[in-house]
A and B are shown apart, each in its own frame.
Chain A
């Protein structure tokens, strides 16, 4: 019965995110700085000592999908923070007083944040030749929905957290306790299989790890080192991310029903 207002609200919030993102091109460029630093400094620096006797393995190209995952993680979380900002400075009140279901805010925010994160991730694909990966158009077309899936999982999580957080200070704390561990334990720098036993369960509970693993499944599909670099089959990565996003987005919608 509230179906049309629901989708209208999702669309409005998504559109608002996208317009602001496209308007701030400086942010787009600034967000590229960090992945470049990681690839140039960390990647190049570690490449020399990270030589393993696995044919077809190269550390820099191994790390590259992880850096795309990192960019998506950071962009998507950044988009979720804006909910708290909006609430604090009133923009959200305009939506709360409109005749639309509040749960749509969670979905709109998650979709908006995911879209911007995917745009950001897609731009990073330009760097593939520089890290020794040749990408086919088919691979790009497979990567985009996978990036979206990871981004949606993260923005749903961020939105859920933001709905329950009252202040910016609270969010900063959560960011430090959530984002950095999610990043470190994503398998971006080392394969899950070679991590110590105590760490492996943590990595298996990390949605970002499934995103990075999914990217590697595409990037290294034809590589002899594929089995060393990926941990799960692609279908399993997709399944875990889909289930995780569904649950978090539903919880986020629920949380927004109670926001005032």
Chain B
């Protein structure tokens, strides 16, 4: 891999985490470099939260080592904690306090000098567009505003890495896009290293590198483009005036079994799509259109795991969490 180990800010080696009966993370190894925008993509229950919690010292690994900012997450937990900012999957704001109060208590916990803290709070609230609401109780905030405040809070003590565990889950699509813009903005303006988990393909697309996790395994790790290239070149679609005949010809002459869906014939699992293109045009009569579909990370996931990420049923824990969230919301108003 074209990987510069020397600049690694996070180094994970053979990380495994076993709960009583479940292996949540299986022998995962990877590194994240300083300034990188790194994503963990995988369905519910893949082990994303477990991994992030271990990196953030909230869980002890069953085996393996994690070095973050030069510190060991088990033996130097306090140093690791000073190096990281965290936005949890579930809300962790005190909603009976104001936005500024939430920020101040955070700054105090991290031992920030008063003056610096005040300046940073003003700047960060400005950055996430919450300045005009800074003295309002958090309980009056929308889901998107709470998330923005959590992101600002996570950056307050100027951490080396900002962890975001499913930062847009549970928000409506428009708010999700918004949050996404804020994340990009804080990333560029603060130069922070960001480690994000998601089960939305669109979000992973924006990362420098994406690790695809499934059932606790890291099944692939590369840039979104490289991942897509790896699966992309072997799919072709064609349309002809007589699809039925074309299918028989392709089967007989090219020894390939295409799929026929309405008018469109799809050839997949090809070794060399480009070379085939020429032979296809020469042998199949009446071709009206040829398509080289742009693969998505969806296809990458499908190819690597044999399943569609969207079909994945929510895990029991996930369902409980969602229910919990709605209960808590009702309970607090």
Residue numbers of A with Cβ under 8 A of B are 2, 4-5, 8-9, 11-12, 15-16, 19-20, 23-24, 88-91, 93-100, 260
Nearest-Cβ distance from residue A113 to partner chain B, whole angstroms: 15
Task: Report chain B residues within 8 Å CB of A20.
Answer: 94, 96-97
Q: Are A99 and B106 interface neighbours, CB within 8 A?
A: no
- Whether A89 and B109, one on each chain, are in contact in the complex, defined by CB atoms closer than 8 angstroms, is no
Smallest CB separation, A215 vs chain B (Å):
31
Indicate which residue in A12, A23, A88 contacts B105 across the interface (CB closer than 8 Å): A12
Q: A133 to nearest B CB, angstroms?
A: 36
How many interface contacts (CB-CB < 8 Å) are there between A and B?
Answer: 65
Q: Give CA–CA (A2, B81) in the complex, Å.
A: 14
User: What is the bound-complex CA distance between A11 and B109, given in angstroms?
Assistant: 9
**Chain B residues engaging chain A, CB cutoff 8 angstroms:** 56-59, 78-79, 81-82, 84, 86, 88, 90-94, 96-97, 101, 105-106, 108-111, 324, 328
Given contacts A20-B96, A20-B97, A99-B82, contact A89 B91 (CB under 8 A): yes
Q: Which single member of B79, B93, B109 contacts A98 (CB below 8 Å)? A: B109
Q: A12-B105, A95-B109, A99-B81 are in contact. List 11 more A-B contacts (CB 8 A).
A: A5-B111, A15-B105, A19-B97, A89-B90, A89-B91, A93-B88, A94-B92, A94-B106, A98-B81, A98-B109, A260-B58
Majority-rule SS of A interface residues: helix
B contact residues around A8 at 8 Å (CB): 108-109, 111
Distance between A16 CB and nearest chain B CB, rounded to angstroms? 6
Q: Which residues of A contact B59 (CB under 8 A)?
A: 260
Q: Which residues of A are found within 8 Å of B96, using beta-carbon distances?
A: 20, 23-24
Residues of A contacting B58 in the complex (Cβ-Cβ under 8 angstroms): 93, 96-97, 260
B57 touches A97 (CB 8 A): yes
Nearest A residue to B105 via CB reads A12
Closest beta carbon of chain B to A30's beta carbon, Å: 16
The 8 A-B pairs at the shortest CB distance, nearest first, are namely A90-B92, A99-B81, A98-B109, A99-B82, A99-B78, A94-B92, A93-B92, A90-B90
- List chain B residues, Cβ under 8 A from A23: 96
Residues of B within 8 A of A19 (CB): 97, 101
**Given A16-B94, A19-B97, A260-B58: A100 in contact with B328 (beta carbons within 8 A):** no
Contact indicator B111/A90 (Cβ below 8 Å): no
Whether A16 pairs with B109 at a CB distance below 8 angstroms is: no
Task: With CB as the reference atom, state the residue of chain A lying closest to B84.
Answer: A97
CA distance A94 to B97 in the complex (A): 14
Return the chain B residue nearest A94 by Cβ: B92
Contact B81 A97 (CB under 8 A): yes
Q: Which residues of A contact B56 (CB under 8 A)?
A: 97
Among B59, B106, B109, the most chain A Cβ lie within 10 Å of the Cβ of B109
Residue of A with least CB distance to B80: A99
Complex CA gap A8/B114 in Å reads 13
**Chain B residues near A4 (CB, 8 Å)?**
111
Closest to A9 in B: B109
Residues of B within 8 A of A93 (CB): 58, 88, 90, 92
| A168 to chain B: closest residue by CB | B331
Contacts of B86 in A (CB 8 A): 97
Measured CB to CB, the nearest residue on chain A to B93 is A91
A16 to B96 CA separation, bound complex (whole angstroms): 9
Check A91 against B92 for contact (C-beta < 8 Å): yes
* Chain A residues within an 8 Å CB radius of B109: 8-9, 12, 94-95, 98-100
Q: From A101, which residue of chain B is reached at the shortest CB distance?
A: B78
Query: Could you tell me if B101 and A89 are in contact, using CB atoms closer than 8 angstroms?
Result: no
Contacts of A16 in B (CB 8 A): 94, 97, 105
Compute how far the CA of A122 lies from the CA of B189 in the bound complex, rounded to whole angstroms. 51
Chosen A-B contacts, 18 in total, with CB atoms closer than 8 Å, are: A5-B78, A8-B108, A16-B94, A16-B97, A20-B94, A20-B96, A89-B90, A91-B93, A94-B106, A97-B56, A97-B86, A98-B81, A98-B106, A98-B109, A99-B78, A99-B81, A99-B109, A260-B59
B110 and A99 form a contact (CB under 8 A): yes
Alpha-carbon distance between A89 and B96 when the two chains are bound, in angstroms: 13
Question: In the docked arrangement, what's the CA distance between A48 and B72, Å?
Answer: 71
Q: Which residues of A contact B57 (CB under 8 A)?
A: 97
Enumerate chain A residues within 8 angstroms of B79, measured Cβ to Cβ. Answer: 99
CA distance A19 to B95 in the complex (A): 12
Nearest opposing residue in chain B for A104, CB measure? B109
Contacts of B93 in A (CB 8 A): 91, 94
What is the CA–CA distance of A93 and B105 in the complex, to the nearest angstrom? 13
